[in-house]
Structure 1
Amino acid sequence: MFKILLIEDDRTLFQEMNERLSSWSYEVHGVSDFGNVMQDFSTIHPDLVIIDIQLPKFDGFHWCRMIRSHSNVPIIFLSSRDHPTDMVMSMQLGADDFVQKPFHFDVLIAKIQATLRRVYNYNTEKNELKTWCGATIDYEKNTVSNPQGMIELTKNEIFILKQLIEHKNNIVGRESLIESLWNDKRFVSDNTLTVNVNRLRKRLEEIGLGKYIETKVGQGYIALEEGSI
């Protein structure tokens, strides 16, 4: 049974989500103190975190930063605000997905299932160390390292990188990446993929590899080999 930490201060919505998620055999936990969410996080050790953006004391972005400083647990944001920047900020902070309120519960379940399947089924696969452009990629630890340093990627970032490297020097279409990541493109904004790829490229730039991921406008993305630039 997967444990979900639901950081939502609307008690009516929390109760409804708790009942619906429990009916899908998820173990749902709430927050006892919105001023100290990390205490509940550390005690519960959730498999997935769902965070509302508008919260008392500190907003969801604050708690996402705090969680990401300790863990790569998958995070899904909720927001009732109609601001595209909310989704962009969420992804830049390392969230795995974003759900706009009001939402149909089937959409939320689909996103939860896709996220858990991607993260935990992927982790059970045998993943050998791979090399690319002089860097070593550890798919189990979500790290990329070379003489310039080592970076740790989120689950989405390492998954995107893996898909691109497996087809290096060939364009991987946007729709193909979306379906691989989220299983059903009907529930995913095209901008969600753009933000994730841009974040991946920015992280790779820290160790001099950002230039090896190229955008092919109107088509998708391509991972180049060293020496091809």
Structure 2
Amino acid sequence: MEKIMIVEDDIKIAEYLNSYIGKYEYEVIIAKDFDNIMTTFRHVKPSLLLLDINLPSYDGYYWCRQVRKESICPVIFISARTGEMDQVMALESGGDDFITKPFHPEIVMAKIRSQLRRAYGEYAVKYEERMLTQDGLSLYPERLELRFGNEVTQLTKKETDIIEALLERYPRVAGRQDLLAKLWDEQAYIDENTLNVNITRVRKKFQELGIENAVETVRGAGYRLRITWSKGEV
């Protein structure tokens, strides 16, 4: 069953959409923690996101940009804002469509069906899923998933990017500056301690798969992936 996630702080509108969309055999999830939309998004893994602009803490443009860092799932904005620039900003932030309030529910359903067809159905662009492998270790970047033997662990986007860089450079060293540029290319300066924190998280992900000492620190250079183990051995 395809999942539709609703991010709307007007509970009456959210419940109305929930009731109407649910009649068409979609699973509907209403976000309730507006400070942690991405936590809910990662947990739900929706097929499509309905997103208001005016939200507590951060607006819909912000959350759409965060979603686009991790997912290509369709995003439809629903907002009382009717200005041209509002629609432009929605699309520039990564949105796929825009519905103005008040809306007719059948229009919402038609746009949902259209976006789902484009993303997953008859109109979807077909492509082979990327997979990087080395000695029994498999990374699926689009799934944010790492596999080793029969074990699987879920990753964040940053963890995925780091492991992808290490696999691409294997058995060579991935330089610290190269990693910083790959992960935070939109920001002029990042404290290198931020990279250290993310490397620590990556090491824990490998440990979840039963792999110890997978990421070697090469002093003065960067990091290197060590794939010289059998499971349960160092």
Question: What is the deviation of 1:26?
Answer: 0.9
C-alpha distance after superposition, 1:150-184 (max 9, x if no partner)? xxxxxxxxxxxxxxxxxxxxxxxxxxxxxxxxxxx
The one-letter amino acid paired with 1:113 is: R
The whole-number CA distance in structure 1 between the counterparts of 2:32 and 2:15 is 14
Question: What is the deviation of 1:81?
Answer: 1.4
Is 1:82 aligned with 2:82?
yes
The whole-number CA distance in structure 2 between the counterparts of 1:25 and 1:111 is 16
The whole-number CA distance in structure 1 between the counterparts of 2:110 and 2:97 is 11
Q: What is the alpha-carbon root mean square deviation over aligned residues?
A: 1.8
Residue 114 of structure 1 corresponds to 114
Residue 191 of structure 1 corresponds to none
The one-letter amino acid paired with 1:69 is: K
- After TM superposition, the structure 1 = structure 2 runs for residues 134-149 of structure 1, keeping only pairs within 5 Å, are 139-140=127-128
RCO comparison, higher one (Cα < 8 Å, 6+): 1
The whole-number CA distance in structure 1 between the counterparts of 2:69 and 2:129 is 15
Residue 17 of structure 1 corresponds to 17
Q: Contact 1:34–1:55 at 8 Å: present in 2 too? A: yes
Residues 1:35 and 1:96: Cα distance change in structure 2 (over 3 Å): same
TM-score with structure 1 setting the length: 0.54
Secondary structure at the aligned position of 1:118 is classed as helix
Deviating 4+ runs (over 3 angstroms): 122-125, 139-142
Question: What is the deviation of 1:83?
Answer: 1.2
Is 1:103 aligned with 2:103?
yes
User: Structure 1: where are the runs of 5+ without partners?
Assistant: 128-138, 143-229
The whole-number CA distance in structure 1 between the counterparts of 2:54 and 2:9 is 8
Residue 181 of structure 1 corresponds to none
Residue 6 of structure 1 corresponds to 6
User: Structure 2: where are the runs of 5+ without partners?
Assistant: 131-234
Residues 1:124 and 1:66: Cα distance change in structure 2 (over 3 Å): closer
As a proportion of its length, which structure holds more helix?
A: 1
TM-score with structure 2 setting the length: 0.53
Question: What is the deviation of 1:31?
Answer: 1.2
Question: What is the deviation of 1:82?
Answer: 2.0
The one-letter amino acid paired with 2:113 is: Q
Residue 59 of structure 1 corresponds to 59
Q: Contact 2:4–2:26 at 8 Å: present in 1 too? A: yes
Q: Could you say which structure has the larger radius of gyration?
A: 2
Residues 1:94 and 1:141: Cα distance change in structure 2 (over 3 Å): farther
Q: Contact 1:123–1:140 at 8 Å: present in 2 too? A: no
The whole-number CA distance in structure 2 between the counterparts of 1:42 and 1:49 is 12
Secondary structure at the aligned position of 1:5 is classed as strand
C-alpha distance after superposition, 1:116-174 (max 9, x if no partner)? 0111015777x4xxxxxxxxxxx5569xxxxxxxxxxxxxxxxxxxxxxxxxxxxxxxx
Secondary structure at the aligned position of 2:121 is classed as helix
The whole-number CA distance in structure 2 between the counterparts of 1:46 and 1:24 is 16
Residues 1:46 and 1:85: Cα distance change in structure 2 (over 3 Å): same
Question: What is the deviation of 1:92?
Answer: 1.1
- Matched residue count: 130
C-alpha distance after superposition, 1:68-106 (max 9, x if no partner)? 011111100011012111111111122111001101111
The whole-number CA distance in structure 2 between the counterparts of 1:74 and 1:29 is 15
Q: Percent identity?
A: 41
